[in-house]
Amino acid sequence: MPIGTGPFRIVKNNSSILVLEANEHYFEGRPHLDRIEMWVWPNYEGVPAETASEQNVQLLYNEAHLNHEAGKDELHPLQELEHGSNYVIFNQVKPGPLQDIRLRQAIHFGLDRWDTVEELNGGRIIPSNGFIFTDGTDRSCMQSPYNMTKAIELLAASSYKGELLQLYTYDNSTNRENAIWLQKALGKLGIQIQISFLQAKELIDPEVMIQADMISVGEVLGEQPDMTLIETYRSRNSLIWNLLPCSWQKTLDDRISSCLRMPEQSDRLAILRELQDELVKNFCLLFLHQHIRVIGHQNSLSGITMNVWGKVDFKDVWCRPKSL
């Protein structure tokens, strides 16, 4: 329960609701809204469908909006492509069949990224080819490398002999769906997968992550995407850094050192893009798909804007009188 020095004070915070009230002493002036209630459902399918059209619900985020047809006619959608990607990182430190690049290649070509977009939906919008992309005109991110014939040939040539591979992910609805989809897709190829769902704080423990054969997660780029990626690659509890062999760890450290010497963000991003492409070329990690972020809001709300995390800055939101 932080005191709060921003435009709102936290007056209640538990597993099901967060209540904010206007901070009369905020240095930039009192916000327009008096009180905000954010309700959280463990399973968005449990949200009563009729609530989206009631006056007591003015805004729905992501799955809560996408999963409720009743609310779509009542709520105005604001959406944009999320910068970042879901991906799979292979553990090349742990002894086992994934040391063989041909098995990693087989998995890469055996996954139909469009299938997960069409089958799972939930904001998954297009296949991904990296954390960094340009804009909607970059059609390369929409191409899926799926080739089952090639995948079967690579698997047969690899050292894989039917071993049970451990797939870890942290536990939320999106990761659960992704992991189960990966298990089924690789099962069709003849690769056995066992899934472990962990808390996020467990998964970033190097002693825990090193036990996995593969880890499926996502990365959202912040307001400074280069800084987000630098931390993703160089942090000592980074999944990527910990699951790569020493030679690759040195490469990461060297590239990040070069990156940090660049005064311009464009130059830093160029180095990070080259590093990303090298990791993909060597089948160290696989990119799966990108998400679209959606906010459904009643037309009575004005000042709605979306930040890089897909959230609303409530300081600028105000309620339009019905007569307007």
Which domains are delineated in the chain? 8-79+294-319 (3.40.190.10), 84-290 (3.10.105.10)
Q: How many residues does the chain have?
A: 324
65 token code pair: 């909006």
Model pTM score = 0.81
Average pLDDT over residues 14-29: 91
Terminal-to-terminal C-alpha distance of the chain = 38
Q: Residue 174 pLDDT more than 60?
A: yes
Helix (H) or strand (E) holding 157: helix 148-157
Helix (H) or strand (E) holding 89: strand 84-90
User: Do β-strands 35-39 and 318-319 pair in parallel, antiparallel, or remain unpaired?
Assistant: unpaired
pLDDT at residue 75, as a whole number:
73
Which residues, 6+ apart, have CB-to-CB distance to 252 below 8 Å?
233, 234, 240, 241, 244, 275
pLDDT at residue 277, as a whole number:
93
- Taking the C-alpha atoms of residue 7 and residue 9, their distance in angstroms, rounded to an integer, is 7
Average pLDDT over residues 164-168: 98
Per-residue pLDDT band for 54 (boundaries 50, 70, 90) equals very low
DSSP state string for 55-124 = TT--EEEHHHHHT-HHHHTTSEEEEEEPSEEEEEEE-SSSSSGGGSHHHHHHHHHH--HHHHHHHH-TTE
Candidate from 49-58, 147-156, 198-207 with smallest mean pLDDT: 49-58
- Tens digit of pLDDT for each residue in 55-102? 467 777 765 555 555 445 567 777 888 889 999 999 999 999 999 999
pLDDT at residue 177, as a whole number:
92
User: Do β-strands 214-220 and 285-287 pair in parallel, antiparallel, or remain unpaired?
Assistant: unpaired
pLDDT at residue 172, as a whole number:
85
Q: Residue 169 pLDDT more than 50?
A: yes
- Tens digit of pLDDT for each residue in 129-164? 899 865 444 545 456 789 999 999 999 999 999 999
Which residues, 6+ apart, have CB-to-CB distance to 283 below 8 Å?
90, 101, 104, 105, 108
- Taking the C-alpha atoms of residue 292 and residue 65, their distance in angstroms, rounded to an integer, is 12
Backbone angles phi, psi at 215, to 5 degrees: -130, 130
Exposed e or buried b per residue across 307-323, where buried means at least 16 C-beta atoms within 10 angstroms of its C-beta: ebebebebbebeeeeee
Contact between residue 32 and residue 317 where contact means Cβ atoms under 8 Å apart: yes
Collapsing DSSP to helix, strand or coil, 10 comes out as strand
Nearest to 292 by CA among 9, 107, 137, 62: 62
- Taking the C-alpha atoms of residue 257 and residue 184, their distance in angstroms, rounded to an integer, is 40
Which residues, 6+ apart, have CB-to-CB distance to 267 below 8 Å?
none
pLDDT at residue 63, as a whole number:
56
pLDDT at residue 270, as a whole number:
94
Collapsing DSSP to helix, strand or coil, 148 comes out as helix
Contact between residue 6 and residue 23 where contact means Cβ atoms under 8 Å apart: yes
Per-residue pLDDT band for 214 (boundaries 50, 70, 90) equals very high
pLDDT at residue 300, as a whole number:
80
